[in-house]
Amino acid sequence: MEENQDIKIIKGFEHVKYSHVQYSQKEMIERSKKFYDWMETRRSVREFSDKPVPKEVIDNILLSASTAPSGAHKQPWTFCVVSNPEIKTKIREAAEKEEYESYTNRMSDEWLDDLKPMATDWKKPFLEIAPYLIIVFKKPFEYDSEGKKRQNYYVSESVGLAAGILITAIHDAGLVTLTHTPSPMNFLQKILERPDNERAFLLLPVGYEAEDVFVPNNRRKGLEEMAFYYD
């Protein structure tokens, strides 16, 4: 039998040798600070330019998103990438219908009050202007080759993690996005003709920000407000 040092059978299953890059403590501190400073420049943007974005960038950010860990490595996500103007219009119309209903009837006074600093309303022009809409679907279950249902695990956690990496990759490419969650979102499954094991999770318009864009003057929590160290 051929010897392969990089593969080991553990409990009957093939494992591959893994070693991650390691930095000196000084380098680690510098890199983590640099990454934080970079991430600190990320903002949710609601006004987009229609300037085109290469499709290859979208492919790459989706591949990055798909590096997320997932329950039993089921990767329970689907990404739909919409650049077709007619489909974008359909999505905008359906989203605005739901959002209008939410803003006028469904959201509590407390919720509407909390949203005031963001200056949002039911109108969502970015759904037509942004060159790409990425709709993230979660898959609570799959069908196997015989049509039998196979369950997925920690689906929302897994898809949330993928969405986080997706947002990071979008930012890193020099593009902006918004985590848009029109509610209810089942119109996306219909418009995009997705199978019944997919549920819309998040809608991300992706592109460049519009010129002269302003974002809410939000401050982020400091460590002392959100981290507790048990030494």
The nearer residue to ligand IYR, 99 or 209, going by C-beta atoms, is 99
Q: How far is the CB of 181 from ligand IYR (least distance, A)?
A: 5
**Residue 159 in contact with residue 76, Cβ under 8 Å?**
yes
Q: How far is the CB of 204 from ligand IYR (least distance, A)?
A: 12
Tokens of 124: 């969502």
Q: Which of 133, 153, 136 is nearest to 78 (CA)?
A: 136
What Å distances lie between residue 95 and 32, 63, 167, 182, CA to CA? 38, 27, 21, 6
Cα dihedral 198→170→68→35 (10° resolution): -160
The nearer residue to ligand IYR, 29 or 115, going by C-beta atoms, is 115
Q: Half-sphere exposure (CA, 13 Å, Cβ side) for 21?
A: 4
Q: How far is the CB of 47 from ligand IYR (least distance, A)?
A: 13
* Interacting residue ranges for ligand IYR, rule: CB under 6 A: 99, 115, 118, 120, 180-183
The phi, psi pair for 137, rounded to 5°, reads -110, 145
Q: How far is the CB of 118 from ligand IYR (least distance, A)?
A: 6
Give the residue closest to ligand IYR by C-beta.
120
The nearer residue to ligand IYR, 26 or 116, going by C-beta atoms, is 116
The nearer residue to ligand IYR, 19 or 105, going by C-beta atoms, is 105
